[in-house]
């Protein structure tokens, strides 16, 4: 188990235990998921709003394989970095990186959320969305759908940078991501940060 700002990045077993502990303490578990590639204000607002729907917020992070489908050079940040950043948000209590294959049904079954948060900006197809609604209800939860919390989106930020000829920025971001990942394998987070700043 890895601690990040008193939050946890869970594997499947740890997530199951965490969920069971929440159930024993009668904590209402809220679940939201996404890629969270280039963090922006909309992500923070969305997750804060999600947390307000219950006691505990678990965030599912789509793995790198899923994020690659978003386009060339995606993800900008690898799944571990994205998970660590989201775990650092005050409103987040736990994070799990998941391989959702065709959809998020497996992670929904694993988390068994009391409240499942979806966004109107989700890339899910209508039939997938409908299946998720039904599964959450079958598990005893409810679905809440939020409108976009900002006009910013990772994809539009990347497209804007590319249109402005800022590919150098993207390349530097990818390079920094690789450096942080390599350092993270050799050193603890505090040591990596001390070497960067």
| Cis ω before 100 (30° cut-off from 0) | no
- Comparing 65-69, 96-100, 134-138, the range with the smallest average pLDDT is 65-69
Residue 140 class from Cβ within 10 Å (0-12 exposed, 13-18 middle, 19+ buried)?
exposed
The residues that bridge with 144 in the sheet, in sequence order, are 117
pTM: 0.75
Q: What is the CA radius of gyration of the chain?
A: 17
Q: What is the DSSP string of 46-96?
A: HHHHHHTTSSEEEEEEE-HHHHHTT-TT--SS-HHHHHHHHHTSTT--EEE
The average pLDDT across 51-67 equals 93
Render pLDDT for 158-194 as a digit per residue (tens, 0 to 9). 667 666 665 565 566 666 666 655 655 555 555 545 5
- Looking at residue 197, its pLDDT comes to 45
Indicate whether 103 pLDDT > 90.
no
Whole-number Cα distances in Å, 87 to 6, 49, 131, 155: 9, 16, 28, 21
* Largest interatomic CA distance in the chain: 53
Which range has the worst mean pLDDT, 10-19, 30-39, 134-143?
30-39
CB atoms within 10 A of CB 2: 15
Q: What pLDDT score does 1 carry?
A: 45
């Amino acid at each position: 188990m890895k601690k990040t700002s008193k939050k946890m990045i869970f594997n499947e077993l740890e997530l199951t235990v965490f969920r069971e502990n929440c159930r024993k303490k009668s904590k209402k578990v809220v679940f939201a998921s996404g890629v969270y590639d280039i963090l922006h204000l909309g992500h923070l607002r969305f997750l804060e709003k999600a947390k307000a729907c219950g006691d505990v917020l678990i965030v599912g992070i789509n793995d790198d394989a899923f994020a690659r489908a978003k386009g060339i050079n995606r993800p900008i940040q690898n799944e571990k970095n994205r998970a660590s950043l989201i775990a650092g948000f005050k409103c987040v209590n736990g994070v799990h990186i998941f391989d959702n294959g065709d959809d998020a049904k497996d992670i929904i079954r694993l988390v068994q959320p009391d409240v499942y948060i979806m966004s109107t900006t989700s890339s899910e197809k209508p039939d997938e969305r409908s299946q998720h609604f039904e599964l959450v209800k079958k598990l005893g939860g409810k679905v809440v759908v939020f409108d976009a919390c900002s006009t910013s989106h990772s994809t539009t930020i990347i497209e804007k940078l590319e249109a402005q000829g800022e590919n150098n920025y993207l390349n530097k971001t990818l390079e920094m991501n690789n450096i942080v990942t390599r350092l993270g394998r050799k050193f603890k987070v505090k040591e990596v940060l001390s070497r960067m700043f």
